[in-house]
């Protein structure tokens, strides 16, 4: 499967996951300050709407040569800028949560169809504008697969339902997370932990 197919498989699994969430669990704690509904809203924004937005904004140059570099940016930007970006993400999650309405699956299903249709005519090597700068579409899709896979697992755990994320998406997201670790200087730590030769420090995160 290429990056487009893996992304769409992850997106389909996310939509199916949303459809499994019982009505009485939307206000449960989701992740950090977010409820289950707000976590869903954030994932919709990052994993689905974000792809549509980027596809509608061709980039003139490639600022980020890899998917790993996109996530590594968080380690190098000004802390004040990063805090502002986090606050904006939290506000967006609340807006997206409200837009889900009473039947979230009725919102995310058609949105996935729209994304799939637009992607069908896009070239993987096309340059698109992302929050971090210009990227190749294939690289941008890898980051969106990671968002869908990780937050899909977050959402399933918070709502108490099966995640159903396909192995292809888990493999691509895990591989990207490992490459981010290398990009930010934690490659040895990640490799030793994955091969049973060491543990991870408390609260370790490559993102």
pLDDT in tens, 117-152: 999 888 878 999 999 999 999 999 999 999 999 999
CATH code of the region 3-166: 1.20.120.450
Q: What's the pTM?
A: 0.94
Cβ neighbours, 10 Å, residue 191 = 14
* In the chain, where the domains are located: 3-166
Strand bridging mode 133-136 / 127-130: antiparallel
DSSP 200: P
Of 199, 195, 179, residue with least CA distance to 187: 179
pLDDT in tens, 173-206: 999 999 999 999 999 999 999 999 999 999 999 9
DSSP 58: B
């Amino acid at each position: 499967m290429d990056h487009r197919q893996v992304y769409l498989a992850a997106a389909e699994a996310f939509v199916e996951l949303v459809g499994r969430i019982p009505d009485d669990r939307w206000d449960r704690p989701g992740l950090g300050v977010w409820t289950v509904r707000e976590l869903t809203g954030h994932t919709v924004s990052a994993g689905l709407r974000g792809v549509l937005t980027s596809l509608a904004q061709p980039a003139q140059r490639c600022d980020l040569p890899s998917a790993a570099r996109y996530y590594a940016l968080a380690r190098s930007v000004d802390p004040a800028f990063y805090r502002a970006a986090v606050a904006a993400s939290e506000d967006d999650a609340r807006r997206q949560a409200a837009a889900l309405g009473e039947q979230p699956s009725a919102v995310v299903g058609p949105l996935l169809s729209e994304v799939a249709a637009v992607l069908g005519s896009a070239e993987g090597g096309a340059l698109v504008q992302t929050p971090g700068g210009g990227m190749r579409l294939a690289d941008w899709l890898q980051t969106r697969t990671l968002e869908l896979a990780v937050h899909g697992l977050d959402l399933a755990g918070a709502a108490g339902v099966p995640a159903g994320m396909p192995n292809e998406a888990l493999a691509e997201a895990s591989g990207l997370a490992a490459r981010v670790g290398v990009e930010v200087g934690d490659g040895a730590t990640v490799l030793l932990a994955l091969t049973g030769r060491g543990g991870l420090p408390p609260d370790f995160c490559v993102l």
